[in-house]
């Protein structure tokens, strides 16, 4: 009985300690943000690594998600003779939910795992300790640019995802299914609000970018410096970041759209 | 040096693409140019029943959106709904005896307020109340009336 209690207590303490370490880590990294301004090239490289290199997968996924949404929405709406609303269905689901969420999931898989592996390997090969020896703070030099790069790249990726998805939906709806082109755009414009829908979608994607990148860099920095530890940390990044995105999405949606 | 230049060009391209996507979402997808209901002047109207009217529902005149519903309240003294609407300041010449009715767009569509101009010489001003109102048509009541009238035959 006491053994069970002890294990439970140890587990809880372990989790709490890790959460606390993650937040202290974040605090130190955020302290490095002002120092990045004169050396924006560092951030630029990270935007390239996590943003530009994720561009293809995000754009292609967005295209297909938009096309599938149009196909499925058409099947339901055609029963009510309301196929003109297809533009609203596609654009609202993309801008409010699917754009930020799916882009963040792809971002966690494509860029987050790479960040964890990179930083974990830096730790395993003692590059981080070497930096400390040279009085360079690795949190400021290595981690901060990656976090800022992720925060900048993610909303852009989500916007590209939504825009490409709406174009994909447009091609399927107007080109393939014969929905009226004018009604497709005008209904969309009548129902989608700049602040209510698009601005909230952008806020969501900024939050997701922050959380995913934070989890990724922390897992990498906190990894056990062996090849097995790095591989575990990479897996944990993808799992935890995806769960965090989906959970946060529910909370954000309830806060933003819940009072309608 | 060459390496960092290509990186910078790519990042520049990426940022431009992201901004273009945002701009497209804002201009082409959302109702940025439509009246948002933020500015404008306020008029109220009392209805016996507002049906499914919601905040931000459109207020139209001759089918054109001239404003939005900004608040829906309930007057507990006379048991009526008080609807506050913001009207686009461009349309500042609605006659005092304008009437307001609640319509449904299509059979199952959303509900909106339709204004119909009267013939008075004075115009509605900020804070005024529309006197002539017509409640929402409730589909269930209509069906009920229809059934009753059929049963009488």
Give B80→chain A minimum CA distance, Å: 22
Residues B60 and B119 occupy one common structural domain:
yes
The reply to whether the predicted model has a pTM over 0.95 is: no
Residues B58 and B121 occupy one common structural domain:
yes
- For A172-205, what is each residue's pLDDT tens digit? 998 888 888 878 888 888 788 888 888 889 999 9
Could you tell me if residue B19 is inside a domain?
Answer: yes
Could you tell me if residue B15 is inside a domain?
Answer: yes
Residues B71 and B136 occupy one common structural domain:
yes
A48, A194, A260: residue with CB nearest B32: A194
Residues B45 and B65 occupy one common structural domain:
yes
Q: How confident is the model at residue B57 (pLDDT cuts 50, 70, 90)?
A: confident
- For A109-122, what is each residue's pLDDT tens digit? 999 999 999 999 99
- For B7-24, what is each residue's pLDDT tens digit? 888 888 888 888 888 888
Residues B20 and B45 occupy one common structural domain:
no
Residues B10 and B70 occupy one common structural domain:
no
Could you tell me if residue B149 is inside a domain?
Answer: no
| Mean pLDDT to the nearest integer, B120-134 | 86
Tally of domains in chain B: 2
Residues B10 and B73 occupy one common structural domain:
no
Q: Is B62 left (phi over 0), alpha (psi -120 to 50) or beta?
A: left
Residue A231: C-alpha distances to residues A25, A120, A121, A139, A234 (Å)? 21, 9, 10, 21, 5
Residue A138: C-alpha distances to residues A30, A126, A129, A219, A235 (Å)? 13, 11, 8, 15, 23
Could you tell me if residue B153 is inside a domain?
Answer: no
Distance CA A117, CA A222 (A): 11
A48, A156, A166: residue with CB nearest B18: A156
Residues B22 and B45 occupy one common structural domain:
no
Residues B78 and B101 occupy one common structural domain:
yes
Residues B18 and B86 occupy one common structural domain:
no
Q: Give me the domain span that covers residue B102.
A: 41-144
Could you tell me if residue B51 is inside a domain?
Answer: yes
8 Å CB contact of A194 and B26: yes
Could you tell me if residue B36 is inside a domain?
Answer: no
pLDDT reported for residue B32:
61
Could you tell me if residue B112 is inside a domain?
Answer: yes
Residues B127 and B104 occupy one common structural domain:
yes
Distance CA A3, CA A8 (A): 9
What residue in B sits closest to A152 (Cα-Cα)? B15
Sheet containing B41-47: order of strands:
B129-130, B41-47, B80-87, B64-75, B58-61, B111-116, B99-104, B132-134
What residue in B sits closest to A87 (Cα-Cα)? B29
In chain B, residues with a C-beta closer than 8 Å to the C-beta of A41 are 4, 8
Residues B66 and B130 occupy one common structural domain:
yes
Could you tell me if residue B150 is inside a domain?
Answer: no
């Amino acid at each position: 009985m006491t053994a069970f209690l002890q294990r439970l207590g140890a587990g809880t303490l372990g989790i709490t300690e890790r959460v606390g370490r993650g937040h202290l880590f974040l605090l130190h990294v955020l302290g490095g943000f002002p120092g990045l301004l004169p050396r924006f090239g560092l951030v630029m490289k990270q935007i390239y690594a996590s943003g530009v290199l994720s561009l293809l997968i995000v754009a292609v996924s967005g295209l297909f998600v938009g096309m599938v949404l149009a196909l499925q929405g058409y099947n339901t709406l055609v029963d009510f003779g309301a196929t003109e609303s297809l533009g609203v269905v596609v654009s609202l689901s993309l801008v409010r939910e699917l754009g930020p969420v799916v882009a963040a999931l792809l971002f966690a898989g494509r860029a987050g795992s790479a960040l964890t592996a990179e930083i974990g390997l830096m730790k395993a090969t003692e590059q981080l300790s070497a930096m400390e020896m040279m009085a360079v703070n690795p949190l400021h030099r290595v981690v901060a640019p990656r976090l800022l790069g992720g925060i900048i790249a993610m909303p852009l990726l989500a916007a590209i995802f939504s825009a490409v998805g709406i174009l994909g939906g447009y091609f399927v709806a107007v080109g393939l299914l014969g929905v009226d082109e004018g009604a497709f755009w005008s209904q969309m414009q009548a129902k989608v609000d700049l602040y209510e829908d698009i601005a909230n979608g952008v806020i969501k994607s900024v939050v997701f970018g922050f959380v995913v990148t934070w989890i990724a860099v922390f897992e990498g920095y906190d990894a056990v410096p062996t090849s097995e530890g790095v591989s575990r940390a990479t897996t944990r990044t993808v799992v935890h970041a995806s769960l965090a995105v989906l959970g946060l999405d529910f909370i954000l949606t309830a806060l933003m759209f819940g009072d309608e | 040096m060459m390496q960092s230049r290509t990186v910078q060009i790519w990042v520049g391209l990426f940022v431009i693409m992201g901004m273009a996507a945002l701009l497209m979402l804002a201009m082409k997808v959302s109702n940025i140019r439509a009246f948002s209901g933020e500015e404008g002047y306020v008029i109220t109207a009392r209805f016996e029943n507002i049906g499914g009217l919601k905040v931000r529902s459109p207020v139209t005149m001759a089918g054109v959106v001239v404003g939005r519903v900004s608040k829906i309240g309930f007057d507990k003294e006379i048991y009526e709904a008080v609807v506050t609407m913001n009207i686009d300041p461009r349309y500042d010449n609605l006659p005092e005896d304008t009437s307001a009715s609640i319509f449904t767009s299509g059979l199952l569509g959303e509900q909106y307020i339709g204004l119909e101009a009267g013939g008075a010489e004075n115009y509605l001003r900020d804070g005024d109340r529309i006197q002539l109102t017509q409640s929402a048509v409730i589909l269930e009541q209509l069906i009920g009336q229809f059934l009753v009238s059929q049963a009488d035959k």
